[in-house]
Amino acid sequence: MLQHLANAMVLLIGLLHVYILVLEMFLWDKPKGLKAFGNSLEKAQLTKVMAQNQGLYNGFLAAGLFWSFLATAPFSTHLANFFLACVAIAGVYGAATASRKILFVQTVPAVIAIILVNIA
């Protein structure tokens, strides 16, 4: 049961980062992206390339989480721990520099997933 919950958390966090990739790479200067990040159209146009770069990195995090799901033990646990830790650290940095909301959207779920992956 715990293993299924851990796997579900890893997959959900991976999907979250695919969603962030889409927002940052393709919707940054569109209404949905503007609303998600609280940007003006002018600011979004000025920062679009930077956001696309961020989106790419979020895609790498998602790919690593999906890889950890597909890998076999114990390698899967090591991969999950590494990529979830990257997500958690990025969330702490984002909360400190951009928006406190990131702590709850990114860091808290990653820490919960790390705990579940390691006790399952």
**Mean pLDDT, residues 109-113:** 98
CA angle (108 as vertex; 110, 86 as ends), nearest 5: 40
Output the pTM of the full model. Answer: 0.93
User: Distance between CA 31 and CA 73 in Å, rounded?
Assistant: 42
Count of domains observed in the chain: 1
Q: What pLDDT score does 120 carry?
A: 87
Residues 6+ apart with CB under 8 A from 58: 17, 18, 20, 21, 24
> Could you tell me which residue, 120 or 61, shows the higher pLDDT?
61
pLDDT in tens, 78-93: 999 999 999 999 999 9
Nearest alpha-carbon partner for 110 in 83, 77, 73: 83
**DSSP letter at 98?**
T
- Supply the range of the domain harboring residue 109: 2-119
Q: pLDDT exceeding 90 applies to what percent of the chain?
A: 98
Task: Measure Cα distances from 30 to 16, 21, 39, 51, 120 in Å.
Answer: 19, 14, 10, 13, 41
Helix 75-97 with 41-70: angle, nearest 10 deg = 160
